[in-house]
Chain A
């Protein structure tokens, strides 16, 4: 859909709403008697034991794990991003609506020269799934060209150097991949995978929540409001606990 069409459709929607007969809307009298959750409102956990559906190539997974585990390495505070399931998390997201860019506007810009200024950040016509497919290949090609080895075979220091170069916009990746913004995308997704509810595939054993002391999907904190300055020792709770 073009932006102009989109705006027009808003106008049309307003008009039809005004003209439509009231009988078109479902009318609720009293109160809803059913209290079961609508299936539309239930969470959508990652596939149980699902195989990789987007990162189907082993080298892509190794490249991504090499990046993720420098962003969140294994240390005394907790497991690394890949150990906590961030690859599985991201694969599941990229296989679904997020990967399709379902919520994104993906038509070309009307005025490319001012778009970034207007929107406040760069815009993409590729879906997140396409950006990963291109981005991981570009990282691998860059390592092969500069160091002559696979990206995942680079030393931690060298990976840090490349990631820093990407973040600062000093490294250009091949095939038109904008390194800075691909770095930002991976950093955001690594954090999400590490801190999202375990039902989405990452944050395995709630390691991310334990690391930062987040108590998870609890409904009510009133019993603790008055307790200040003490360790509450709240164990984290997943939205759908395993046991």
Chain B
């Protein structure tokens, strides 16, 4: 999920640039030569692949790319209709079934390549909510297979006006050409000959179909990923995508590759449990990863240099606020999360040594306290345990205190959560206020 607040600022600026035209530079980022390998004559509506193996591989590419997360909603498989609310209006995911009128039935394979890898669709430029910036890395082979799979999808008539909910100037698709000239790296995936095949496979999945950096890398004020902070954690508004580098305090430094594989394939490594957008990613995508691919991803992540985020100094535990929070924790949290913060393995997150929850950015914990959260529902873990919301019974100070307690107990150490951070998110998330009592 893109950070829309930041991207929006970028869009406004690049709209001007797009209007002015950026010449060769633009031509380079908009060059679609990479799509020439694809057929430009047969429409998807007239094509039905019979290559069973290619279809199967294509379905797997779809899982790696998490297409259904956005394109499958109530209207049917791949029929689109997912409202993405942004501060600039609502974008709706498109119908990508082979229906000629309302889907992509009129696209040729080359058109399809242009859409997925170049961000140039049948109605003009795509919005970067579609992660074509990452999909650009998809190999020709994976794209051909994906095309074969798409030909087997049942056509669904579902007319969608993707940007009808975007006010001027964000409804001007041409503005994305400007965004592309600035931020779109129009180059495919390159194998690193120095590294082994597993690492290359892991990097391919992370940077290409998996589009992990879309959330896990912070963005600059113009909405582009900051290369020097690659996968070091990014705030996406209502959630925080944690540091995926080997940082031992807030990242994956203490996780084994097998832990991470378990997390991706089941939704939990036994300590952490996915929630929010990551729970969706696990449900729709990563639980389908092969063990080999999951381990490749982990091997690659473990190879990344640790971010420089230092260890936090634990807050003192003998303050009145901490002691009050300890009682509040026992009363409200311990039944599921455990008296020692041990959680329930695979179902309820532990707090002890759960490094993803110790970052300076406590958005995920605040979000879970105010709106609740739910674990992913996967083939291996069917419970999808729910965290109830506490917005009605705790004020900002009480939420901050209880989070400071869990982030600084049982050997944990994390920076203090302030009440006004909780207040800001309470308003932003539309959570209720603590109920008034006599």
A binding-site residues for B, Cβ under 8 Å: 30-37, 42-43, 45-50, 85, 88, 198-201, 217-220, 222-223, 235, 237-243
**Nearest Cβ distance between residue B434 and chain A, in whole angstroms?**
7
Which residue from A35, A47, A219 sits with its C-beta under 8 Å from B332?
A: A219
Residues of chain B lying within 8 A (CB to CB) of residue A37:
388-389, 392
Query: Beyond the given A36-B431, A45-B438, A218-B331, could you list 7 further A-B residue pairs with CB under 8 A, ordered by the A residue number?
Result: A35-B387, A50-B438, A199-B435, A223-B330, A240-B434, A241-B393, A243-B398
Contact B392 A217 (CB under 8 A): no
User: Nearest residue in B to A48 (C-beta to C-beta)?
Assistant: B436
A selection of 26 A-B contacts at a CB cut-off of 8 Å is A30-B377, A31-B377, A35-B372, A35-B386, A35-B388, A36-B371, A36-B388, A36-B391, A42-B392, A43-B435, A45-B435, A45-B436, A47-B436, A48-B437, A48-B438, A201-B438, A218-B330, A218-B331, A220-B334, A223-B339, A235-B327, A237-B331, A240-B435, A241-B398, A242-B437, A243-B324
Residues of chain B lying within 8 A (CB to CB) of residue A45:
435-438
**Nearest Cβ distance between residue A131 and chain B, in whole angstroms?**
24
Say yes or no for B54: interface residue by CB 8 A criterion: no
Say yes or no for B374: interface residue by CB 8 A criterion: yes
Q: Whole-angstrom distance between the alpha carbons of A35 and B375 in the complex?
A: 11
**Nearest Cβ distance between residue A235 and chain B, in whole angstroms?**
7
Q: Whole-angstrom distance between the alpha carbons of A36 and B391 in the complex?
A: 9
Say yes or no for B206: interface residue by CB 8 A criterion: no
Say yes or no for B384: interface residue by CB 8 A criterion: yes
Contact B438 A49 (CB under 8 A): yes
Residues facing A in B303-340 (CB within 8 A) are 324, 327-328, 330-332, 334-335, 339
Interface centre among B327, B332, B435, B438 (most CB of A within 10 A): B438
**Nearest Cβ distance between residue A206 and chain B, in whole angstroms?**
12
Q: Whole-angstrom distance between the alpha carbons of A49 and B392 in the complex?
A: 19
User: Nearest residue in B to A197 (C-beta to C-beta)?
Assistant: B437
Residues of chain A lying within 8 A (CB to CB) of residue B339:
223
Contact B384 A31 (CB under 8 A): yes
Say yes or no for B264: interface residue by CB 8 A criterion: no
Which residue from A32, A43, A85, A217 sits with its C-beta under 8 Å from B331?
A: A217
Number of interface residues of B (CB under 8 A): 29
**Nearest Cβ distance between residue B175 and chain A, in whole angstroms?**
33
Q: Whole-angstrom distance between the alpha carbons of A237 and B325 in the complex?
A: 13
Interface centre among B324, B332, B377 (most CB of A within 10 A): B332
Q: Whole-angstrom distance between the alpha carbons of A37 and B432 in the complex?
A: 10
Total residue contacts A-B, CB cutoff 8 A? 78
Q: Whole-angstrom distance between the alpha carbons of A37 and B330 in the complex?
A: 21
Closest CB pairs A-B (n = 10) = A35-B372, A220-B335, A35-B386, A36-B389, A48-B436, A199-B437, A45-B437, A219-B335, A46-B438, A240-B393
**Nearest Cβ distance between residue B292 and chain A, in whole angstroms?**
29
Say yes or no for B373: interface residue by CB 8 A criterion: yes
**Nearest Cβ distance between residue A129 and chain B, in whole angstroms?**
20
Residues of chain B lying within 8 A (CB to CB) of residue A47:
436, 438
Residues of chain B lying within 8 A (CB to CB) of residue A88:
438
Contact A36 B435 (CB under 8 A): no
Which residue from B327, B372, B392, B435 sits with its C-beta under 8 Å from A34?
A: B372
Over the window 50-80 of chain B, the binary record of Cβ atoms lying under 8 Å from chain A Cβ atoms (1 yes, 0 no) is 0000000000000000000000000000000
Q: Whole-angstrom distance between the alpha carbons of A181 and B369 in the complex?
A: 47
**Nearest Cβ distance between residue B107 and chain A, in whole angstroms?**
31
Contact B389 A199 (CB under 8 A): no
Known: A49-B438, A198-B438. A33 touches B371 (CB 8 A): no
Residues facing A in B384-416 (CB within 8 A) are 384, 386-389, 391-393, 398
Contact A33 B438 (CB under 8 A): no
Residues of chain A lying within 8 A (CB to CB) of residue B434:
240
Q: Whole-angstrom distance between the alpha carbons of A239 and B438 in the complex?
A: 13
Q: Whole-angstrom distance between the alpha carbons of A235 and B326 in the complex?
A: 13
User: Nearest residue in B to A200 (C-beta to C-beta)?
Assistant: B438
Residues of chain B lying within 8 A (CB to CB) of residue A42:
392, 435
Q: Whole-angstrom distance between the alpha carbons of A36 and B384 in the complex?
A: 15
Over the window 356-387 of chain B, the binary record of Cβ atoms lying under 8 Å from chain A Cβ atoms (1 yes, 0 no) is 00000000000000011110010000001011
Contact A198 B389 (CB under 8 A): no
**Nearest Cβ distance between residue A24 and chain B, in whole angstroms?**
19
User: Nearest residue in B to A29 (C-beta to C-beta)?
Assistant: B74
**Nearest Cβ distance between residue A37 and chain B, in whole angstroms?**
6
**Nearest Cβ distance between residue B427 and chain A, in whole angstroms?**
15
Interface centre among A37, A200, A217, A237 (most CB of B within 10 A): A37
Residues of chain A lying within 8 A (CB to CB) of residue B384:
31
Residues of chain B lying within 8 A (CB to CB) of residue A241:
328, 393, 398
Interface centre among A33, A46, A223 (most CB of B within 10 A): A33
Residues facing A in B122-136 (CB within 8 A) are none
Residues of chain B lying within 8 A (CB to CB) of residue A235:
327
Q: Whole-angstrom distance between the alpha carbons of A238 and B388 in the complex?
A: 18
**Nearest Cβ distance between residue A89 and chain B, in whole angstroms?**
9
Q: Whole-angstrom distance between the alpha carbons of A49 and B332 in the complex?
A: 27
Q: Whole-angstrom distance between the alpha carbons of A46 and B435 in the complex?
A: 10
Residues of chain A lying within 8 A (CB to CB) of residue B435:
42-43, 45, 199, 240
Residues of chain A lying within 8 A (CB to CB) of residue B389:
35-37
User: Nearest residue in B to A92 (C-beta to C-beta)?
Assistant: B438
Known: A35-B387, A35-B389, A42-B392. A240 touches B377 (CB 8 A): no
